Amino acid sequence: MGMISKFVTTAIAALVAAVALTLSTPVEAAQKQAKKKATATAKSPAHKAKRAKRVVRVVPARPSFGQLAGLRATDDALDLKSSVALVMDQDTNEVLLSKNSNAVLPIASITKLMTALVVTEANLPLDETLTISQEDVDTEKGSRSRLRVGTQLTREEMLHLALMSSENRAAHALGRAFPGGLSAFVKAMNARAALLGMSDTHYVEPTGLSSQNQSSAKDLATLVKAAHEHQLIRELSTSPEFRVAVGRREMQFRTTNSLVRSPIWEIGLQKTGYITEAGRCLVMQATLAGRQLIMVFLDSTGKYSRLGDAERVRRWVTEFAPAHAPVAVPAPADLSPSASAAVKLAI
């Protein structure tokens, strides 16, 4: 009886093992098949191309002209992040702070302040309708715009968007619609700069997208002072937001300068700017500690550092400046007149 039981047990165990072996074989076969398919797919040209698209290529940022000239190595008492800075009393022309203020650099969309000055002083009808055309599309930097080709706005609306939101197509359309066309407008920009005594300044187009639009902080302070005389430019440049009707829909635009919304700032005029060659730029007219001041910051290193520099100046003026002599930061030793000229001509 014992031997029979042992025989049955052995037979059952053998049967179970055989069944398990039979069942596992298709599974293993399926796994091998899947592995083989995955290997073949990984080696296929289509898969390799797909994987190649996933590779993120890190392209080093191109240096600004100020960086190439060594201006960012200049130290200053306020630890400003801008290579170039100038703070001046609007009424007395007293310079409170100067850092590389004679260096000539690209000025990006600060250009639009001269665009606004020329348009305003030409006394062209502000209610005239202008149309965005293919000519206004940026081929210099490939920048985008919310104003599509065919968009129709009044000259004042174009001016508003150019100053407040730094709309490139709006600024270009303003120049193109000038009597005599774009070339006549650029000549008018340079003529106005010369009349103001802006000897370091040169314009080639009305938007600031070209690095050939260049100036110095000293010259830009003069431009801010002249532009501030016009109420329209003051109001449009310091507008926090603006809605325009484009066809059947309404579009909302906002200022590029968040300080405009700050309750601790009393800003009378402002303009921001940025292209790689110029770095981050900012010009403002503001009332601080009871004084009308003009501030210029060029070639700032980070997205928000120009605003941070303005805040550093505000704190310094309101808390410490009355007890100190004006701050003058000398130009770096390597920025000789010839070096400055090289920066100006480096396109």
Report the catalytic residues: 109, 112, 166
Q: What are the backbone angles phi and psi of residue 56, rounded to the nearest 5°?
A: -95, 120
> Measured between alpha carbons, how far is 181 from 277 in angstroms, rounded to an integer?
27
> Measured between alpha carbons, how far is 219 from 215 in angstroms, rounded to an integer?
6
Please return the burial class of 230, using the count of CB atoms within 10 Å of its CB with bins 0-12, 13-18 and 19+. Answer: middle
> Measured between alpha carbons, how far is 55 from 25 in angstroms, rounded to an integer?
40
> Measured between alpha carbons, how far is 163 from 238 in angstroms, rounded to an integer?
8
Distances (CA, A) of 193 to 115, 200, 226: 11, 9, 10
> Measured between alpha carbons, how far is 331 from 48 in angstroms, rounded to an integer?
53
Question: Bridge partners of 98?
Answer: 86, 328
Q: For residue 202, what is the DSSP state?
A: B
Please enumerate in sequence order all residues whose Cβ is within 8 A of that of 175, keeping only pairs 6 or more positions apart, or say none. Answer: 115, 182, 185, 186, 205, 206
